[in-house]
Amino acid sequence: MARFVAEVQTENNPEDVFAYLADVRNFTEWDPGVVDSVQVSGEGPALGAEYDVTVRTGRRDMTLRYEIMEFDAPHRMKVVAAAGWFRSIDEIEVTAVEGRTLAVYDAALKMPFPLSLGDRLLQRVFDRIGGKAQAGMEKVLQGTLVS
């Protein structure tokens, strides 16, 4: 499993931070790996809402259907996409910490055996992609990196 976790602190209030990050359509604004994100089911971020998210994968783009599987506004959301050979799980958690807001974005790619044997290589690629998303998250939240 390849995994990337970004933690950003910001002065913005937790409700606004969660509302922004939980709207999957906004991924295009802070994650340069996301080319497009269109809601195809539901009204805004909510349990069961679905989005077609187009991501850049090298020289081509791939569209994945993401579904919000867990939704506890304004604290936590889990969105999942499954393709033929992997599963993408993104979790967002927002908490108030000492007068500031902590936003945690936890993304994981899971592949079945024997594809999982390539996890080390995938992790290096995922670290590079995640680093760019983390920088975008810091910028849009006007925050600072925690980890």
Residue range 7-20, pLDDT digits in tens:
999 999 999 999 99
Q: CA-CA distances (angstroms) from residue 106 to 4, 40, 59, 99?
A: 6, 23, 25, 23
Write down the H helix ranges in 25-142: 27-30, 119-141
Mean pLDDT taken over the chain:
87
For residues 71, 18, 104, 5, the Cα torsion angle rounded to the nearest 10 degrees is 70
Domain ranges of the chain: 2-145
The closest alpha carbon to 101, from 12, 16, 40, belongs to 12
Say if CB 68 and CB 45 are below 8 A apart.
Answer: yes
Beta strands in the chain (DSSP E): 2-10, 34-41, 50-57, 60-72, 76-82, 87-97, 100-110, 144-145
60 has a pLDDT exceeding 70: yes
pTM for the model = 0.86
First to last CA, the chain: 20
The closest alpha carbon to 34, from 52, 50, 55, belongs to 55
Say if CB 2 and CB 115 are below 8 A apart.
Answer: no
Assign 121 a pLDDT band (cuts: 50, 70, 90): low
CATH 3.40.50.2000 for domain 2-145, yes or no, is no
Write down the H helix ranges in 1-147: 14-22, 27-30, 119-141
119 has a pLDDT exceeding 60: no
113 has a pLDDT exceeding 80: no
pLDDT: is 128 or 30 the higher one?
30
So what's the pLDDT on residue 58?
A: 75
